[in-house]
């Protein structure tokens, strides 16, 4: 998993971060990649925001997903 594959961490139909088992597995793979390669939480959030903006214009949904990423990843990466 690499940062440019962040789309795998979101539901195809609903755009929810790690909302389905396969998406969650991808999210943990992304976290592992970030930890091993010194990728910051801000980099992940930036990439996620870019991706989400290609899928929806619903800023409330985007903000909710970015918050979810922070909650899951912040204990592990800064």
Q: Is 78 within a domain?
A: no
pTM of the model: 0.93
Domain of 53? 3-73
Number of domains in the chain: 1
Q: Is 43 within a domain?
A: yes
The residue behind tokens 């990728």 is 39
Res 2 pLDDT > 90: no
Inter-residue long-range contacts of 51-60, CB under 8 Å, 24+ positions, other chains counted: 51/6, 51/7, 51/10, 52/10, 52/15, 55/10, 55/15, 56/15
What confidence category does residue 1 fall into, taking pLDDT thresholds of 50, 70 and 90? low
Q: Is 44 within a domain?
A: yes
Ramachandran region, residue 2 (left: φ > 0; alpha: ψ -120 to 50; beta: rest): beta
Res 34 pLDDT > 90: yes
What percent of the chain lies above the pLDDT cut of 90? 94
Q: Please, which residues have CB within 8 angstroms of residue 66's CB and are 6 or more apart in sequence?
A: 45, 48, 49, 52
pLDDT digits (tens, 9 = 90+) for 36-63: 999 999 999 999 999 999 999 999 999 9
């Amino acid at each position: 998993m690499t940062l440019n594959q962040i789309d795998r961490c979101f539901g195809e139909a609903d755009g929810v971060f790690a909302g389905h088992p396969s998406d969650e597995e991808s999210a943990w793979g992304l976290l592992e990649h970030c930890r091993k390669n010194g990728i910051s939480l801000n980099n992940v959030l930036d990439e996620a925001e870019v991706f989400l903006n290609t899928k929806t214009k619903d800023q409330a949904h985007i903000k909710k997903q970015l918050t979810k990423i922070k909650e899951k990843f912040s204990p592990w990466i800064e």
